[in-house]
């Protein structure tokens, strides 16, 4: 027997942890659907040539080969396309849009919750297999700016709904590529992508080193580098940020048309966010997302008090999410790193599930012969939506109660007419459905009828509630 051990970077949860993850997924799905996003799934694999189109990340692709044919070259010789596992949900979505363009109605709003794979070195919050939950809106030909306002507000609502289980507050940090590009060009820098790439490193290597890199690698003067860092230093949660950027640009004579457009967009976002999600959205001019091909708004999201975890929800606007030569499909979207979020919630003890099983009631069994009586009780309870299971064996009732206790099942049902032995009533008679039910937490035991009794609403399903941990 081979030794069984976890694989680093491939997280798995115990049933109680999965209750937490499932709750997070249910809240995300519910929120996305309330906003009219249609759920789709795409296959896990894409032809390798498609995956390699997205620069950096492609180094981390897992390539597939069939065992009978372990040499991928053999496959290629037979004209089969080499396949790899998708590393995000954007590349497959773009392909899905092109493949089905004639059958979709645009603007097309979709959500997609699936696993993705990256062969990176695993670290805290960085996995080789993880779940993403994406929303995107994609247009055919054009896509109005207001969707760049909508998508972060949908996410703000989802994160808001997760506050009650113990999720720390989030800050959605927003910027606009037009502001950055407009400013850089206004002060005379033309290597916009290069500058963004350096600014992206601010949190990691600090101001001084970024300034040096801007001078050495992007052809900036010291004064230009200083201006870039001044822009990156601006942040705030109201529209005063807009005035600040405008003033900075004016002081450099850099108020380009592109910058003006970008500032108007950013202002519209801050105004709507101030009304609909006060305090959640923060304009942060150093957000660069340097490795992605965004053309308007860009977003990152941090958990307050857990900033070192990195972004838990990122995205932005692409003018060309996809293109088939004839048509261009601009899009805007955001992607929640569900595994990163859930692993922090669990490892930090920030949340806990009231139980790891769906079962609200364990129906005890008096003897193996009267199991059908217990089955009938369980069936009556389930018929009214109450999750229950029947005890595995007619053990002493103390042992059956312990079975429930170990699993966090709050109630144990003892079949049998009150005042009579548990097995007196035949399974087919109505009296089989009366008995008594014990709340094993309080010890309270009451006569009950399986056709009418209900557990308190808060005990019906496992709940996810704040834990004792600080997660720091």
Minimum distance from CB of 218 to a second copy (Å)? 28
Out of 185, 201, 407, 463, point to the residue binding a second copy (CB under 8 A): 407
Please name the helix (run of DSSP H) or strand (run of DSSP E) that holds residue 18, with its range, or none.
Answer: helix 15-34
Q: Where are the beta strands (DSSP E) in 288-383?
A: 297-303, 313-323, 328-337, 351-353, 361-363
Minimum distance from CB of 457 to a second copy (Å)? 16
Cβ-in-10-Å burial (0-12, 13-18, 19+) of 424 comes to: middle
Neighbours of 263 (CB within 10 A): 23
Residue 110 near a second copy by CB under 8 A: yes
Among residue numbers 142 through 171, which ones bind a second copy (CB under 8 A)?
A: 144, 146-147
The CA distance from 268 to 145, in Å, is: 9
Question: Residue written as tokens 């609502």?
Answer: 157
Q: Which residue's CB is nearer to a second copy, number 1 or number 304? A: 1
Among residue numbers 28 through 57, which ones bind a second copy (CB under 8 A)?
A: 33-45, 47-50
Neighbours of 61 (CB within 10 A): 20
Stretch that binds a second copy, among 15-23, 171-179, 221-229, 293-301 (CB under 8 A): 15-23
Out of 56, 70, 141, 204, point to the residue binding a second copy (CB under 8 A): 70
Among residue numbers 261 through 320, which ones bind a second copy (CB under 8 A)?
A: 272, 275-276
Minimum distance from CB of 110 to a second copy (Å)? 7
Residue 347 near a second copy by CB under 8 A: no
Stretch that binds a second copy, among 201-209, 246-254, 287-295, 353-361 (CB under 8 A): 353-361
Minimum distance from CB of 64 to a second copy (Å)? 5
Quote the DSSP letter at residue 253. Answer: T
Out of 62, 252, 293, 397, point to the residue binding a second copy (CB under 8 A): 62
DSSP letter string, 185-201:
HHTT---HHHHHHHHTT
Minimum distance from CB of 266 to a second copy (Å)? 17
Q: Which residue's CB is nearer to a second copy, number 150 or number 284? A: 150
Among residue numbers 377 through 406, which ones bind a second copy (CB under 8 A)?
A: 379, 382, 385-389, 392-393, 403, 406
Minimum distance from CB of 216 to a second copy (Å)? 28
Q: Which residue's CB is nearer to a second copy, number 15 or number 169? A: 15
Tokens of 256: 């380009």
Minimum distance from CB of 316 to a second copy (Å)? 19
The CA distance from 429 to 432, in Å, is: 6
Q: Which residue's CB is nearer to a second copy, number 14 or number 243? A: 14
Out of 209, 251, 323, 452, point to the residue binding a second copy (CB under 8 A): 323
**b/e per residue 148-163 (b: at least 16 CB within 10 A):** bbbbbbbbbbbbbbbe
Tokens of 164: 């009650």
Residue 109 near a second copy by CB under 8 A: yes
Residue 72 near a second copy by CB under 8 A: yes
DSSP letter string, 379-441:
HHHHHTT--EEE-SS---HHHHHHHHHHHT--EEEEES-TTS-TT-S-TTSGGGGEEEEEETT
Q: Which residue's CB is nearer to a second copy, number 72 or number 305? A: 72
Q: Residue 281 pairs with which residues in a beta bridge? A: 172
Asked whether 183 and 176 are in contact (CB, 8 A), the reply is no
Out of 86, 88, 107, 172, point to the residue binding a second copy (CB under 8 A): 107
Among residue numbers 166 through 225, which ones bind a second copy (CB under 8 A)?
A: none
Out of 250, 324, 369, 447, point to the residue binding a second copy (CB under 8 A): 324
The CA distance from 435 to 389, in Å, is: 16
Q: Which residue's CB is nearer to a second copy, number 84 or number 348? A: 84
Q: Which residue's CB is nearer to a second copy, number 36 or number 418? A: 36
Stretch that binds a second copy, among 112-120, 167-175, 195-203, 237-245 (CB under 8 A): 112-120
Site size with a second copy, rule: CB under 8 A: 96
Residue 83 near a second copy by CB under 8 A: yes
> What are the backbone dihedrals phi and psi of residue 219, each rounded to the nearest 5 degrees, phi first?
65, 25
**b/e per residue 184-208 (b: at least 16 CB within 10 A):** bebbebeebebbbbbbbebeeeeee
Minimum distance from CB of 420 to a second copy (Å)? 23
β-bridge pairing 388-390 and 411-415: unpaired
Minimum distance from CB of 103 to a second copy (Å)? 6
Which residues are CB-contacts of 65 (< 8 A; sequence separation ≥ 6)?
71, 72, 75
Q: Residue 116 pairs with which residues in a beta bridge? A: 130
């Amino acid at each position: 027997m081979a030794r069984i051990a976890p694989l680093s970077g491939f997280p798995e949860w115990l049933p109680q942890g999965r209750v937490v993850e499932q709750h997070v997924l249910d809240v995300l799905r519910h929120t996305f659907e309330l906003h009219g996003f249609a759920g789709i799934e795409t296959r896990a694999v894409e032809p390798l040539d498609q995956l390699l189109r997205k620069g950096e990340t492609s180094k981390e692709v897992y390539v597939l080969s069939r065992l009978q044919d372990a040499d991928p070259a053999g496959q290629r010789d037979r004209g089969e396309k080499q396949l790899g596992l998708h590393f995000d949900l954007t590349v497959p979505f773009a392909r899905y849009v092109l493949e089905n363009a004639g059958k979709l109605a645009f603007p097309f709003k979709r959500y997609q919750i699936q696993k993705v794979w990256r062969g990176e070195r695993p670290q805290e919050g960085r996995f080789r297999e993880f779940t993403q939950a994406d929303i995107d809106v994609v247009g055919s030909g054009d896509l109005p700016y207001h969707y760049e306002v909508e998508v972060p507000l949908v996410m703000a609502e989802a994160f808001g709904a997760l506050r009650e289980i113990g999720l720390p507050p989030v800050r959605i940090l927003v910027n606009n590529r037009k502001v950055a590009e407009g400013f850089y060009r206004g002060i005379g820098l033309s290597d916009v992508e290069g500058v963004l790439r350096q600014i992206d490193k601010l949190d990691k290597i600090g101001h001084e080193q970024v300034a040096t890199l801007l001078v050495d690698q992007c052809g900036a003067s010291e004064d230009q580098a200083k201006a870039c860092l001044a822009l990156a230093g601006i942040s705030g949660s109201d529209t005063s940020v807009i005035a600040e950027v405008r003033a900075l640009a004016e002081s450099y004579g850099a108020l380009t048309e592109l910058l003006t457009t970008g500032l108007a967009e950013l202002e519209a976002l801050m105004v709507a966010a101030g009304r609909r999600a006060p305090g959640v959205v923060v304009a942060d001019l150093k957000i660069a997302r340097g490795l992605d091909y965004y053309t308007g708004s860009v977003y990152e999201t941090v958990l307050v008090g857990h900033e070192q975890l990195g972004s838990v929800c990122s995205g932005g606007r692409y003018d060309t999410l996809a293109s088939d030569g004839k048509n261009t499909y601009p899009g805007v979207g955001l992607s929640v790193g569900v595994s990163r979020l859930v692993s922090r919630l669990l490892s930090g003890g920030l949340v806990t599930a009231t139980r790891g099983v769906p079962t609200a009631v364990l129906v005890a069994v008096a003897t193996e012969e009267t199991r059908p009586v217990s089955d009938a009780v369980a069936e009556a309870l389930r018929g009214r939506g109450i999750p229950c299971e029947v005890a595995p064996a007619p053990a002493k009732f103390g042992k059956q109660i312990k079975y429930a206790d170990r699993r966090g099942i709050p109630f144990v049902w003892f079949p049998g007419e009150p005042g009579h032995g548990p097995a007196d009533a035949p399974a087919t008679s109505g009296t089989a459905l009366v008995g008594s039910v014990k709340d094993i937490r309080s010890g309270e035991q009451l006569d009950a009828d399986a056709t009418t009794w209900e557990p308190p609403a808060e005990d019906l399903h496992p709940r996810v509630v704040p834990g004792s941990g600080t997660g720091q």
